[in-house]
């Protein structure tokens, strides 16, 4: 899980990290003030199945565009990408067209997030 950009409001990302961990997943959180490149580098290094971004700043479209470009460039298309935070509903389809697998705006239930990841994770054990 990563928090790209300068915004430091990390209550949401930490709370979701706890929920995923409680659901039996291994969770790595990159911490604050990351660039998208930092997050992708860590994802490769740790060989993750899912990248989750938390974005509250309103910059979700340029950030996700960058992320998807890097994912393609690095050949990581089997990584599931989910995005959470302050995302207006009209932007959800825009993000999905870019290749984001699912968007969980603030207020989403833990169960939905957990279920989605469990059912859609692309990599096989």
Smallest gap from residue 75 Cβ to another protein (A): 26
Of the pair 109, 118, the CB lying nearest another protein is at: 109
Q: Which helix (H) or strand (E) is 45 found in, with range?
A: helix 36-46
Strands (E) in the chain, as ranges, are: 50-55, 80-85, 102-105
Of the pair 33, 120, the CB lying nearest another protein is at: 33
Closest residue by Cα to residue 67 from 94, 102, 31, 37:
37
Of the pair 58, 99, the CB lying nearest another protein is at: 58
Residues 49 to 108 in contact with another protein, rule: CB under 8 A: 57-59, 62, 86-90, 105-107
C-alpha dist (Å) from residue 67 to 25, 52, 97, 100? 23, 11, 13, 9
Using CB under 8 A as the criterion, which residues of the chain lie in contact with another protein when the complex forms?
5-11, 14-15, 17-19, 21, 27, 29, 31-33, 57-59, 62, 86-90, 105-107, 109-111
């Amino acid at each position: 899980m990563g928090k790209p950009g300068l915004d430091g409001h990390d209550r949401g990302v930490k709370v979701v990290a706890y929920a995923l961990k409680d659901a039996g997943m291994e969770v790595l959180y990159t911490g604050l003030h990351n660039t998208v490149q930092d997050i992708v580098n860590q994802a490769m290094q740790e060989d993750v199945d899912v990248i989750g971004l938390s974005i509250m700043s309103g910059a979700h479209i340029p950030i996700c565009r960058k992320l998807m470009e890097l994912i393609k460039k690095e050949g990581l298309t089997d990584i599931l990408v989910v995005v959470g935070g302050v995302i207006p509903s009209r932007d959800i389809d825009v993000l999905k067209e870019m290749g984001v697998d699912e968007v969980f705006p603030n207020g989403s239930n833990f169960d939905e997030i957990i279920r989605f990841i469990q059912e859609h994770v692309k990599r096989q054990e």
